[in-house]
Amino acid sequence: MRITAVDVRDVRFPTSRSLDGSDAMNPDPDYSAAYVVLHTEDGEEGHGFTFTIGRGNDICCAAIEALGEYVIGRDLTGPADLADLYRALTHDSQIRWLGPEKGVMHLAAGALVNAAWDLVSRRAGLPLWKYLATLTPEEIVANVDWRYLTDALTPDEALVMLREAEPGRAERIAEIEREGYPAYTTSPGWLGYDDAKVVRLAREAVAEGYTQIKLKVGADLEDDRRRFAAARSAVGPEVRIAVDANQRWDVDEAERWMAALAEFDPWWIEEPTSPDDVLGHAEIRRRVAPVKVATGEHVHNRVMFKQLLQAGAIDFLQLDAARVAGVNENLAILLLANKFGVPVCPHAGGVGLCELVRHLSMFDYVAVSASMQDRVIEYVDHLHEHFLDPAITERGRYLAPAKPGFSAEIKRESLEHYAYPDGPEWSEN
Amino acid sequence: MRITAVDVRDVRFPTSRSLDGSDAMNPDPDYSAAYVVLHTEDGEEGHGFTFTIGRGNDICCAAIEALGEYVIGRDLTGPADLADLYRALTHDSQIRWLGPEKGVMHLAAGALVNAAWDLVSRRAGLPLWKYLATLTPEEIVANVDWRYLTDALTPDEALVMLREAEPGRAERIAEIEREGYPAYTTSPGWLGYDDAKVVRLAREAVAEGYTQIKLKVGADLEDDRRRFAAARSAVGPEVRIAVDANQRWDVDEAERWMAALAEFDPWWIEEPTSPDDVLGHAEIRRRVAPVKVATGEHVHNRVMFKQLLQAGAIDFLQLDAARVAGVNENLAILLLANKFGVPVCPHAGGVGLCELVRHLSMFDYVAVSASMQDRVIEYVDHLHEHFLDPAITERGRYLAPAKPGFSAEIKRESLEHYAYPDGPEWSEN
């Protein structure tokens, strides 16, 4: 299973043309992937990507190319190899200067680490979530970088936690395969949609079985009140409506804005301020209670999540499959969340994030938290048609992926059509 | 003053051959610059750079190239243009996804912002620190991005602070030109040096007039105790000896290690843990008192510094001229530090950091804090020969730079000799 080549592609979808994905900070995203394929000497493949929203995707591709040198020649067979690869990609002392463990280089490391897990779980013939569930507590703990975490969680505590959840793994796997995992949908709530579209999509979501939807807020307060009122009327009082400010506010502004939305009963406020602002989130949480606070899609590593938990800054932890350094760092984040009793509700949408995060939440249920209480995975109904193993929801729940691997693979024809800047979608439009 | 071209160069110095710059996390750095020159239609130039320690310098160059598109065609004449440029480089919604405001893209923004300030202050015929001292409080406040800061410091409070320091600006400028600004030196303390070299260099530093030196620690406790004991004997009890762990420890480990070094009377412990770990620093500070805590060279933006101050996590704030988004973000950081009464002791060394940070500390004295109490700028005696306006210390103090600009310009022959990978230093060795 020696890696012989690392193939990197810049792929961009022109989503800004329809304002899908528009929010208060991101008015015109072109959902993109800095996409990587690892090739082995025996013809196997591992796929991974960094998700971006357009410009800068080329810089991520360059970073993946540069880090690819640390992957070529490596034998990737089992969990110990994955632990070694993760450390090699995040601990090179010269590369580390550019972060450490944040920004473009860390996004690139995540793409490669996820591609490696895709490769290894494909070879095991299992979807990633079930492959992870075959690992022993010791193997899981050995795949975490414990540096900077031990004041909140030690490897020994994590072992105890994982051993406690070992009984019942098989039953929970069967339950997931039978019933799936709860989802919520953001599709009705993009800021670029008019009220009628928001109402129509919100009604459709509830009719499909969703019990939680999400609206984007933060650009204009009167618009937000009008849209929220319309959505609340459309879905009734029982459906949870989360709101998402995409980092738009300072602390005082978050308090004022949320006070003005309180009458519509928001379930959580997501990314009220800078993702770097642990103490700001904690202060906002105190001020907007009983509305809950959620964040994580831009939280750049396990050290930041550790502090959000230590500071009591969040009610829901929204890990992202492709922001941190891949599966390994997300194992640390799942263990930290469980230690602090905070439900993980992953960020998804974009390109392929739904495909990836379902594996992490399902593994969390099987082997870490053993709970679905107040846990939901974000679902957005865009761009799944480009994936070989697309995310599927039914009656408001994610179905369990069954194909071997991490579901990151994009169809060959999509990679070619949306190649940037030379694919036909970009060169002919 | 319209910008017509952005010229980017990858320049690397083979410092790993002599172990200059070696520490517990960075055993073999090759000090490097992702170097940029802005060219104007009338033949003027602005110089700036991102400092790195080798691998990945090419990725920073690619990021500066990409952001260069936001600079070309711009008219850069006065402070309002600099505020606009800073916002354009840090607020592009698609680029922002790659951070926000951290890692490679933020380092690249810093290089370009600093080059723009170099250009504008050259044109004004003033060294940057004196150019900054010509700005009104309103102009300074308008160059800060206040988003995410207002729970700690508002623009109005900053205006009051700056107006209070306006009387006496001229006297303090004259004082700096006469007497310079206090420095300390890290040159004796690199981890790769043997004890005899540490002792010899420590003695020399004191003989030259330094009252503070710094030792690298964190790789091996017995080595650290032996080296610290030798250095303390060499310089006597009056000279301050700071120690620097370069992020090597977790919280408990920092406490244990510092307890074992306490008998040698360390002045501060620098970077005891992850630069992202605000709460970890705060806890370490409580545990190691009365030893002080310093950090900042890897703190990626003003939001992180805000929290380090809010949490009472640091005794000294070590801003870096080329880590954050240039002069504009460092103005915010100087104002925040002053609000919280924390002395700024900039990080320097590397390539050209001494050349840059002296301007920021001198401006701080003239127009913000109006104090040199417990304030020292790091000095390292490497690589200054490559600069047209090199940092000079005498009797343990930085002399005031007098040439127009920000002192970032590297000699043309050095740019060519150390060009990576094609310059003679690299292609012939």
User: What are the tens digits of pLDDT across the range B68-78?
Assistant: 999 999 999 99
Closest CA to B189 of B255, B124, B240, B248: B240
Asked whether residue A50 is domain-assigned, the answer is: no
pLDDT for B400 beyond 90? yes
**A340 — pLDDT class (breaks 50, 70, 90):** very high
CATH of the domain at A336: 3.20.20.120
- Average pLDDT of the residues in A316-344: 98
The span from the first CA to the last CA of chain A, in angstroms, equals 41
pLDDT tens per residue, range B187-235: 888 888 899 999 999 999 999 999 999 999 999 999 999 999 999 999 9
Q: What is the pLDDT of residue B256?
A: 98
**Measured between CB atoms, which of B53, B283, B307 is closest to A151?**
B283
Q: Which two tokens stand for residue B409?
A: 């310009």
**Nearest CA distance, A167 vs chain B (angstrom):** 33
- Domain assignment present for residue A61? The answer is no
| A125/chain B closest Cα distance in angstroms | 33
Closest partner CB to B97 (pick from A52, A66, A149): A52
In this prediction, residue B245 has a pLDDT band, given cuts at 50, 70 and 90, of: very high
Indicate yes or no: CB of A102 within 8 angstroms of CB of B300.
yes
The model carries a pTM of 0.98
Sign of CA dihedral A60, A66, A70, A73: positive
* Chain B residues within an 8 Å CB radius of A53: 93-94, 97
Segments forming the whole domain that contains residue A342 = 169-413
Per-residue pLDDT of A50-90, as tens digits, reads: 999 999 999 999 999 999 999 999 999 999 999 999 999 99
Average pLDDT over every residue of A232-258: 97
In order of A75, B47, B69, B81, B85, the CA distances from B7 in angstroms are: 41, 10, 12, 20, 17
Closest residue to A62, CB basis, from B62, B107, B306: B62
Kindly state whether residue A91 falls inside one of the protein's structural domains.
no
Q: How far apart are CA B180 and CA A249, in angstroms?
A: 42
Nearest CA in chain B to A297: B97
* Contacts B29 to A, Cβ<8 Å: 93-94, 97
Whether the upstream peptide bond of residue B167 has omega within 30° of 0, thus cis, is no
Distance from CA of B166 to the nearest CA of A (A): 29
Q: What is the pLDDT of residue A413?
A: 98
**B156 in a structural domain:** no
Of A214, A347, A382, A386, the active-site residue reads: A347
Residues of B acting as catalytic residues = 216, 347
Distance from CA of B307 to the nearest CA of A (A): 7
Residue B16 lies in a domain: no
- Whether the CB-CB separation of B8 and B19 falls below 8 Å is answered with no
The domain tally of chain B equals 1
Instruction: Please report the number of interchain residue pairs, chain A to chain B, with beta-carbon separation below 8 angstroms.
Output: 190
Please answer whether residues B246 and B219 qualify as being in contact, where contact means their C-beta atoms are separated by less than 8 angstroms. Answer: no
For residue B283, the chain A residues in CB contact (below 8 A) are 151
A347 part of the active site: yes
Q: Is A419's pLDDT higher than 80?
A: yes
Given the cut 0.95, state whether the ipTM is greater than it: yes
What does the alpha-carbon distance between residue A337 and residue A321 come to, in Å, rounded to a whole number? 15
Q: Which residue of A has its CA nearest to B16?
A: A94
Is residue B11 in a domain?
Answer: no
pLDDT at B214: 97
* Residue B225 is assigned to a structural domain of this protein: yes
User: Using one digit for the tens of pLDDT, what is the confidence trace for B30-64?
Assistant: 999 999 999 999 999 999 999 999 999 999 999 99
Catalytically annotated residue among A47, A102, A130, A216? A216
The DSSP bridge pattern shows strands B316-317 and B292-295 to be parallel
* Interchain proximity A250–B59, CB inside 8 Å: no
- The whole-number pLDDT of residue A16 equals 87
CB B91 within 8 Å of CB A247: no
Task: Please write the tens of the pLDDT for every residue from B256-294.
Answer: 999 999 999 999 999 999 999 999 999 999 999 999 999
Under a CB-based contact definition with an 8 Å cutoff, are residues B321 and B353 in contact?
Answer: yes
Summarised one tens digit per residue, pLDDT across range B136-187 is 999 999 999 999 999 999 999 999 999 999 999 999 999 999 999 999 999 8
The C-alpha angle with vertex B108 and arms to B302 and B404, in degrees rounded to 5, equals: 85
In A, which residues are within 8 Å of B149 by CB distance?
Answer: 250
Give pLDDT, residue B18. Answer: 77
Query: Of A16 and A56, which is predicted with more confidence?
Result: A56
Structure confidence at residue A189 (pLDDT) = 85
Of B55, B150, B304, which is closest to A94 when you measure between CB atoms? B55
Res B23: pLDDT: 79
Contacts of B66 in chain A (CB under 8 A): 55-56, 58-59
Question: A279: which chain B residues are within 8 Å (Cβ-Cβ)?
Answer: 278, 307, 310-311
Strands B393-394 and B377-379, by their bridges, are unpaired
The two three-digit tokens of residue A2, written as one number: 């020696």
Asked if residue A406 belongs to a domain, the reply is: yes
Residue A255 CA to residue A350 CA, distance in Å, equals 28
pLDDT at B25 over 90: no
Minimal Cα–Cα distance from B61 to chain A, Å? 10
Nearest to A306 by CA among A151, A161, A156: A151
**C-alpha dihedral sign at B93, B96, B97, B98:** positive
Percentage of chain B modeled with pLDDT above 90: 94
Distance CA A424, CA A350 (A): 21
